[in-house]
Structure 1
Amino acid sequence: MVVVLMIAEKPSLAQSIAKILSRGTMKTRKGIAKPCQVYEYSGTFHGQQARFSVTSVCGHVYSLDFLPQYNNWDAVDPVDLYDAEVKKKDANPDQNIVKFLKHEGQGIDYLVLWLDCDREGENICFEVIDIVKPVMRNSSSQNIFRAKFSAITDKDIFRAMETLITPNKNEALSVDARQELDLRIGCAFTRFQTKYFQGKYGDLDSSLISYGPCQTPTLGFCVERHDKINSFEPEKYWKIDVKVRHNNSTFALQWNRVRIFDKNVASMFCEDIKAVTRTKILKVTTTQKSKQKPIALNTVEMLRKASSGLNIGPHHTMALAERLYIQGYISYPRTETTTYPQNFDFRDLLGKLSSHEDLGDTVKSLLKDGYSKPKKGQDAGDHPPITPMKVAGRNELSGDSWRLYDYIVRHYLGSVMEDCRYTQTTYMVEISKESFTCSGAVVTSPGFLSVMNWLQQDEGQNLPNLDRGAVLEITEAKLSEHQTSPPDYLTESELITLMEKHGIGTDASIPVHINNICERNYVKITGSRRLQPTQLGIVLIHGYHKIDSDLALPTMRADVEKQLNLIAAGKADFKAVVNYVVDIFRNKFCYFKDSVSNMDHLFEVCFTKLAETGKPFCRCGSCNRYMKLIVAKPSRLYCKTCDQTYSLPQNGTIKLYKELKCPIDDFELVLFSANTGTAKAVPLCPACYTKSPYPDVAKNLMCNQCLHPTCPHSMMQNRILDCQICDQGSIVLDAPSAPKWRMTCNKCKFFVPLLQNASKVSVKEETCHCPTNIITIEFKDESPFPNGKKSHSGCLNCDEIFVKLIKLESVIEEQLRGGHRGHRQGRGGKRGRGRGRGKKR
């Protein structure tokens, strides 16, 4: 019996595939990766009896990053990142995906990859292959297959299983190239800009001043529209408004000149028209017209319509569509194709939709009377258009999920219905030698508009049925003043159209780039889903244009995308393309760095320098002068004397901490309280937090993580035991919590209340056998200890008095039930791992 391992991209997808292929007979077991289950069943594969295991990854297994020595912003010149060595690292080390894949792949005969069928999915295929292939029983590439599918239905999954193909290495390499280019280019510019401008200005409302090869041109479109609005000069114009009546029907006429920008000339025409009381219809034109039904739905059109019609942003739309796809309600939601395949079974899909609670009668009519042939769109050669795959009701889906699904159903039905047909009637009249017209329309066949009713045909005025020569009474003729108006800010829908037109991003990444410029406070979304640039976004784009317009225009990224497409098609070499693009951007970065003063002049006008903002707060350890606290995001400390800025944790409150000083660098400590509702306050040294004094410890070091052997605030003096919730941190005494004493994890949100209103709590050098450090709790007044003892020392895990009063076991169980991640290691934490007082752990 051969063993076949099948890998999907997400746990829910693996479950669906296994359920279909096993016909519901699979057995489930837990995998060593926290989120992944393994589904097992027996069957045949290539004519042999086989045991199948179906499981998944959680998106990309690896992410690309620089070697650790290049991740120190202070020590590395950003230009060095263009040549720095990069490596793939575990994208989710907490989930144990790499170890899990090696374990499940041990000794298998065949590997079948069910990753999403796009370039990103192809790239993940080869991440999985690199892990599993070395441990396979037969590691020949002929035993590794790729399943191609576009929907999670029985029919599609079985067809994919019967037509397995070979993974496409070239498409995977194109993703590798994009990742490397975006990493090098984005990090170099982002690090330089962030350090340069945040080191000079105090009211920049962004924690990261980032640059992205796709993100920045996306912002550029928004700022370009902003500039057109601001530079627009309104101009007055005049129109002549005429109303006429026939019997009891009154309607308006449209002046064929439309408008005139000279008031005197317009007044002359108006006075001549006012002198006339009657006119005749000179010409009647009746035309049969149609409003064309939509072509098949692709990703970009779905994003546009979700934003403009459903008020759902692109990023949220893609998340909803992905969920609907995994649940089997719609086909694969990432596609550029707008034409149905030749073998598409329209009747079968209509049959599935015939029980739709709102549209069932319409679908039954299409099945009975015949559906219309869809209009031909573009075949991009990727996936079929987005269609519903099964019927759903409001009780199965809710909120935005239902609204998006309902739109996809209606779009599909509209694409196989008739065009909307209507009759347009136009009357032409002449008043004082000036031509006027009026038009009205009558829908003769609503066609697809009966299901896509939000696109109802504008029927114009309700006109009476008149013939040539009919006399009309002029009831009103007046001159009205207007002025030209500027364009409005871009809608998300308009921005998506521009990005598609200029080749910025892919159908999958467009929502990500729009989301990024919003999260980085470069644009704000107004109530009508319009994108209004912030001052920071405007200054950045204007600054790029002053230095090098290529950095903000879409042309360079579009050229890079063409190169990436050549890699995917096997027509260009991966290394040659990467080196070519890196060389271009390295030169542009060097020029930008030398010319940054041109952008800085714009910042000087719009933002306040650090020396002029903030309030004196705590003393600098270098000059002993007071540093200023900058409260604008990102909050930080600035020493004017040393001209240095120091990072602080965000999304919380910063206070002074008793004017205590760090023994390492003499900086005054501050107290940080996060806005998380836990009331957890942690002391930190601004200098140590900005740049760790320990080479093997990352930055953002809090006092409760510090390795200093004697400092009374360090982890080494306050550590009690290992955290049994996150398995990564240490439980330390939270001294600032007095008199409501407690101990907290220095990594996660776990905390344990200690005895309240104690006068003193201290951690001893002595360690229990479990091992947990001994603590002493002292009281001045009434004490909870037996026999009125004012002080007691012991182990929280083993001492009977502390076990009864503090109930550590119960607290752990309660917080585990409350949703904390991780698992217990047994009473007393990770056995055998002592505190090691005075030693680096």
Structure 2
Amino acid sequence: MRTVLMVAEKPSLAQSLAKILSNGSATSRKGFNGACSVHEYTGQFHGENVRFKFTSVCGHVMTLDFLPSYNNWDKVDPAELFAATTEKKEATAKLKMPAFLEKEGRGCDFLVLWLDCDKEGENICFEVIDAVKYSMSKPRGNEQQIFRARFSSITDTDVKRAMANLSVPNESEARSVDARLELDLRIGCAFTRFQTKFFQGKYGDLDSTLISFGPCQTPTLGFCVERHDRIQSFKPDTYWILNVELLLPGDRRLQIDWERVRLFDREVIQLFHSEIKQHNNAIVVKIDKKQKSKARPVALNTVEMLRTASSGLGFGPQHTMQIAERLYTQGYISYPRTETTQYPANFDLKGTLRMQCSNSQWGSYAQELLNNGINKPKQGQDAGDHPPITPMKPASEDVLDRDSWRLYDFITKYFMATIDYDCKYLQTTILFNIGEEEFSVTGNEIISPGFTSIMSWKSLSPDASLPSLKTGDTLPIRDVRINERQTSPPDYLTESELITLMEKFGIGTDASIPVHINNICERNYVTIESGRKLKPTALGVVLVHGYQKIDIDLVKPSMRAAIEEQLTLIAQNKADFHEVLSWTLDVFVKKFQYFVENIADMDELFEVTFSPLAATGKPLSRCGKCKRFMKLITAKPARLHCSTCNETFNVPQNGNIKLYKELKCPLDDFELVLWTTGGKGKTYPLCPYCLNHPPFPDMKKGMGCNECTHPTCQHALEQTGVSNCLECDNGTLVLDPTSAPKWRMCCNRCNVVINMFENAHKINLTDDSCDECQSTILKIEFNKNKTPLDNGCTTHIGCVFCDPILVPLVEIKRAVALRRRKGGQKSSRPRRKGPKKPKDKMAQLAAYFV
């Protein structure tokens, strides 16, 4: 029996699709990578009985990156990145996805790709093909082996239709994604590395780990700063309006509006005020009644969903897409990434509406719409991708989480509104004359609410009923007043408005727009204020102004829009991949060179906005060179700066840094500092100089004392390491000497923390190892009043993982056998044996190398 391997984009999607295609008969097993399951069943494929294996990936299988030799920021000139060699490597190494796909594809006869039906999905198709094709069985003659399933929703009908109409993957669309990835990598990394190193080396309060540039991200930020500049440069003008109030029968009042609206000259409006005050009545000169309508919406696409979710539901774009993808995977809505706003001709509008008749909130509305007959949807735009976003099966509030229900509620109501009728209302306008001046009042009366019955947020605001008047009637004037007001500045851009601008100027795609907005927030370029308004930070403003001073094209949307046009041509097989790549990179190489030559123009703006490193931070520890205090700069990225030596030392991020008992590194005399994530997290000492300049060949930049291979230092791995980590492959459990009296061990590579011995006041590592697990034997001295030992003993020597007395006092009660290195090299397990501690540094180094 031949085998068909089928691959979806997510594990949950593979499970849903396999359940539909197997009619619930599939059996499941876990894949060897632990993340993906394999669902197996038998069935028909091209007229023969076959065995189906349905599995998935977890997003992209591969990612594009530079060769490791180009990843050293200190040694590589950013300009080299435009021509640097790149490679495809595993997107998530721990998932071992290529190996998993190769194993499951071994011996398979056919491959059916069920990746998402967009350009990214096409790109992942070819990543899966590359991983599987060499392990598949050879085809019989000219037999086609690789197929593509195209679907828009997880419903029985759509999925089985896709299975019956398999096509082939689109290589042109996949290549357009490759081009975008390579351009963004080369351009973004070159600019980002240069400006990050330049400005973080001079200023201490930038409060951003990375000063990034992106061909899409930067124009997105530019929109926000442009609005900010308009607000800052706005100068209010004073103007005046006339408020006239008429008296109606029954002591009711009617406010009427001046047709001139407002004047900016106080003396002139006082003349009009005096003129009107001379009259006692207003005369009705015309009554105008018109029937108007408020149009129902076109079908829902991604951008409109993101806009409304931000302004109406308070969801950020990225959060909205995460919810929408989850609803799609669960089968509640159709594919959420689409630019189309027109239903296909064969779309079952009545069937989709009929599914909602059982809903307790809008079921009666759906049934009434079916009974009265649905309206023909408005003509939208067919972008040639997926159908508009619609509900695919009924849901209730008790089966979805709160945010998922709110988005599903919006999508369903929006769909029903598109097939309802327009809102019709009668607009009545009464015109008055007071002397030579004209005034009016307008009111609306609902004739038929139409779609606003279900989209209540679109309904017309209720107006006070107008009086019954006819031409020639007069009403006494009760009051005439002059009101002074001022023009107001525009408000900061909302996410909804920003999405509209990005769509208008072609910045990003429906899939990437949320990512770009999220990036400028995470980079501390903008902050999200009340009402989902985006307010640029000082860093965001200075960056955009700097780009404008040097090269305005870097921040203008037209540059990215031109690139997107070229990428679209690649996807349509109308442009050559290499030509587009070469042309675009040539343009940006010249722009980068000009940017570097004129960086001083941007630096002038930074100088007046931010403080230099020497004037930032608080004194913390002494420099090993000049013996003066270095300052700790806590703004991102955290670092230590010596103003005397004019040197900056990076420290670990996302934790707190404090002085460690004024102890010094035996190699360079720098005072040690402690990095900690709090009382329940990891803590370890580090030398600022060794962290940035590894002292030994087997150490890497960024290693603290808990990974230092110094042979005799009391803080190094030799003196504090207990056992190999229980979870990760290369880590060592290190005793935290600062954790007393609640002692703990922490892995020096991963986040494993083991709590132990709360009543011990001293722990020492011995030179012996456990015979069973090879962990270092500990000597523990307990508090004499709280000792767990028999007969009041306070000292015990044993293995924390094997000793029957110590095991109950440790949270994790298992150890890992030590992994020894081959070829007689030094064991990765900490050992205590060796010569006594030399007295001077040269002797220490000699002992290490000998």
1:573 shift after superposition: 1.5
**Which segment is superposed worse, 636-645 or 163-172?**
636-645
1:36 corresponds in structure 2 to: 36
Which moved further from structure 2: 421-430 or 759-768?
759-768
SS in 2 for 1:120: helix
Q: Which moved more, 1:230-239 or 1:732-741?
A: 732-741
Q: Which residue of 2 aligns with 1:270?
A: 273
- Distance in 2 between residues matched to 1:571 and 1:709, nearest whole Å: 64
Of 407-416 and 206-215, the range deviating more from structure 2:
206-215
Contact conserved, 1:22 with 1:41, CA < 8 A, in 2?
yes
Secondary structure in structure 1 of the residue aligned to 2:355: helix
How far apart, in 1, do the equivalents of 2:464 and 2:480 lie? 18
CA distance in structure 2 between the aligned counterparts of 1:786 and 1:281, rounded to whole angstroms: 105
- What RMSD, in angstroms, separates the aligned Cα atoms of the two structures? 2.1
1:795 to 767, 779, 799: 799
2:546 aligned with 1:543: yes
Change in Cα spacing, 1:790 to 1:341, as seen in structure 2 (3 Å) is same
1:769 offset after TM fit, Å? 4.3
SS of aligned partner of 1:763: strand
How far apart are 1:247 and its partner, in Å? 2.2
Partner of 1:779, secondary structure, is: strand
Residue 138 of structure 1 deviates from its aligned partner by 2.5
Q: Does 1:506 align with 2:494?
A: no
The alpha-carbon deviation at position 664 of structure 1 amounts to 4.3
Q: Tell me the equivalent position of 1:369.
A: 372
Equivalence for 1:720: 722
- Which residue does 1:58 correspond to in 2? 58
Aligned mates of 1:69, 1:836 — CA distance in 2: 30
* Superimposed CA distance per residue, residues 642-687 of structure 1 (whole angstroms, 9 cap, x where no aligned partner): 2221111223221111233334444221101114x51431111223
Change (3 A) 1:171 1:695: farther
Indicate the SS of the match to 2:812. helix
Where 2:244 maps in the other structure, the secondary structure is strand
Q: Which amino acid aligns with 2:11?
A: P
2:675 maps to which of 672, 696, 699: 672
Match of 2:817 in 1: 829
Q: 1:269 to 1:528 in 2, by over 3 A?
A: same
The structural deviation recorded for 1:789 is 6.2
Greater CA drift, 755-764 or 576-585? 755-764
Q: Structure 1 694/389 Cα, relative in aligned 2: closer, same or farther at 3 Å?
A: farther
Q: Give 3-state SS (helix, strand or coil) of 1:209's partner.
A: coil
**In 1, Cα distance between equivalents of 2:526 and 2:676:** 29
Q: Aligned letter for 1:37?
A: S
Q: Partner of 1:221: helix, strand, or coil? A: helix
Give the stretch that moved more between structures: 75-84 or 764-773. Answer: 764-773
Residues 330-729 of structure 1 aligned to structure 2 (within 5 Å): 330-675=333-678, 678-693=680-695, 698-729=700-731
Q: Deviation at 1:761?
A: 2.9
3-state DSSP of counterpart to 2:805: helix
The Cα shift of 1:812 comes to 2.4
What letter corresponds to residue 546 of structure 2 in structure 1? G
1:605, distance to aligned residue in structure 2 (A): 0.9
What residue number does 1:823 align with? none
Distance 1:64 1:285, change over 3 A: same
Give the 3-state SS of the residue equivalent to 2:173 in structure 1.
Answer: helix
Following the alignment from structure 1 to structure 2, what is the Cα–Cα distance between the partners of residues 790 and 286? 97
AA matched with 2:520: I
Match of 2:75 in 1: 75
Conservation of the 8 A alpha-carbon contact between 1:337 and 1:384: yes
Query: Please, which runs of 5 or more residues in structure 1 have no aligned partner?
Result: 814-825
Aligned to 1:818: none
Q: Kindly provide the CA deviation profile for residues 294-352 of structure 1, in whole angstroms up to 9, marking residues without a partner as x.
A: 00000000000011111111111111111111011100000000000011111111111
Secondary structure of the residue that 2:384 maps to in structure 1?
Answer: coil
1:350, 1:698 → 2: CA distance? 62
> 8 Å contact 1:65–1:89 — kept in the other structure?
yes
> How far 1:269 moved relative to its partner?
0.6
1:201 — aligned with what? 203
The amino acid of 1:804's aligned partner reads I
The structure 2 residue matched to 1:311, chosen from 314, 337, 344, is 314
Q: CA deviation at 1:723?
A: 1.3
Gaps of 5+ in 2: 822-826, 832-847
Residue identity over aligned pairs, in percent, reads: 56
Report the alpha carbon displacement of residue 16 of structure 1 after superposing the two structures with TM. 0.3
1:232-255 CA deviation, whole Å, 9 max, x = no partner? 111111111112233235322111
Distance 1:398 1:797 in 2: 42
Residue equivalent to 1:301: 304
Q: What is aligned with 1:152?
A: 154
DSSP 3-state at the match of 1:803: coil
Q: AA paired with 1:493? A: S
Residues 697-750 of structure 1: CA deviation (Å, up to 9, x unaligned): 553212212233333222233322221223442112222223433322112332
Q: Structure 1: how far apart are the matches of 2:754 and 2:535?
A: 46
Taking structure 2 as the reference length, the TM-score comes to: 0.93
Structure 1 residues 272 and 88: CA distance shift in structure 2, 3 A = same
What is aligned with 1:819?
Answer: none
Question: How has the CA–CA distance of structure 1 residues 781 and 245 changed in structure 2, closer, same or farther, with 3 Å as cutoff?
Answer: closer
Q: 1:626 Cα deviation (Å)? A: 2.1
Contact preservation (8 Å) 1:723, 1:829: no
Query: What is the rounded CA distance, in whole Å, between the counterparts of 1:141 and 1:590 in structure 2?
Result: 52
Amino acid at match of 1:36: C
Residue number in structure 1 paired with 2:329: 326
Instruction: Report the equivalent of 2:840.
Output: none
Contact 1:20/1:154 (<8 A) preserved: yes
2:191 to 189, 192, 201: 189
Distance 1:489 1:74, change over 3 A: same
- Equivalent residue of 2:256, what SS? strand
Q: Which residue of 2 aligns with 1:747?
A: 749
Q: Structure 2 matches for 1:136-175, cutoff 5 A? A: 136-138=136-138, 142-175=144-177
CA distance in 1, matches of 2:493, 2:109: 54
- Compute the displacement of 1:600 (Å): 1.1
Q: Which amino acid aligns with 2:646?
A: D
Q: Which amino acid aligns with 2:716?
A: S
In structure 1, how many angstroms separate the alpha carbons of the residues matched to 2:73 and 2:797?
Answer: 45
- C-alpha distance in 1 between matches for 2:750 and 2:528: 33
Amino acid of the residue matched to residue 333 of structure 1? P
Which one-letter code corresponds to 1:395 in the other structure? Answer: D
Q: Give the drift of 1:771.
A: 4.3
Q: CA deviation at 1:695?
A: 6.0
Distance 2:566 2:594 in 1: 24
Aligned equivalents of 1:452 and 1:836: distance in 2?
A: 67
Query: Offset of 1:419 from its aligned partner?
Result: 0.2
**2:213 maps to which residue?**
211
Name the counterpart of 2:839: none
C-alpha offsets along residues 100-151 of structure 1, whole Å, 9 cap, x if unaligned?
Answer: 1111111101111111111111111111111011100126892111111110
- C-alpha distance in 2, partners of 1:53/1:14? 10
Q: 2:696 and 2:360 mapped to 1: Cα distance?
A: 65
Following the alignment from structure 2 to structure 1, what is the Cα–Cα distance between the partners of residues 675 and 52? 52
Say whether the 8 Å CA contact 2:423–2:450 is kept in structure 1: yes
**In structure 1, C-alpha distance between the alignment counterparts of 2:746 and 2:30, rounded to whole Å:** 31
- 8 Å CA contact 1:504–1:558 kept in 2: the answer is yes
Mapped partners of 2:575, 2:337: distance in 1: 25
Map of 2:124 onto structure 1: 124
8 Å contact kept, 1:350–1:363: yes
For residue 385 of structure 2, give the secondary structure of its aligned residue in structure 1.
coil
- Residues 499-520 of structure 1 show CA distances to partners (whole Å, capped at 9, x for unaligned) of 0001111101111111111111
Q: Would the alpha carbon gap of residues 410 and 194 (structure 1) be closer, same or farther in structure 2, given more than 3 Å must change?
A: same
- Equivalent position SS for 1:135: coil
Q: How far apart in 1 are the matches of 2:617 and 2:282?
A: 74
